[in-house]
Amino acid sequence: MQTQKPISIFLLRISLGIFFLVLGIQGLSIHTSKTAELLRWLGRNDALNIVISVVQILAGAVLCIGVFLPIGSTVSWFLTLGILVLWGIYMVMTLFLKDFLKPDTLSWLYKTSWSFIILTSLWLVSGRE
């Protein structure tokens, strides 16, 4: 049973890292689309989206690289805890302050549930052994 925990945490950490890498790359690729160029021409400023995408890419890299490189457990814990806090802030801003129960309750609950799954997973991988 003890060997299952490190393997599951390893897989969860890699999965979260890939998730954040893809999420950040998607954010940057949406930024470079023709629609985004048109919206910027019309005056939309999406600098915050670029910053969020870069932070997501860095978070994904930290989660994936932290598995393979021997960084100190305290440093790894603080980095993962930082990602956890940033994800929590992101959830509050997008799910509760901006789009509470939008577009409909069921869609909001779906998005909220997978966001909490990510938050809980980050909590698990940030736990000290």
Q: Over the stretch 104-129, which tens digit does the pLDDT of each residue have?
A: 889 899 999 999 999 898 888 877 54
Is pLDDT above 70 for 5? no
As a whole number of angstroms, the distance between CA 39 and CA 34 comes to 9
Q: Over the stretch 28-63, which tens digit does the pLDDT of each residue have?
A: 887 666 666 666 666 666 777 788 888 888 889 888
> Alpha helix locations (H) across 69-104?
73-91
Please, what is the end-to-end C-alpha distance for the chain in angstroms? 15
13 backbone dihedrals φ, ψ, rounded to 5°: -65, -45
As a whole number of angstroms, the distance between CA 66 and CA 61 comes to 8
C-alpha distances in Å from residue 47, one per residue of 36, 71, 80, 94: 12, 32, 25, 16
Tokens of 82: 């930082």
Helix axes 105-126, 4-31, angle to 10 degrees: 130
The SS3 of residue 67 is helix
Mean pLDDT to the nearest integer, 7-35: 84
pTM: predicted TM-score of the whole model, two decimal places: 0.76
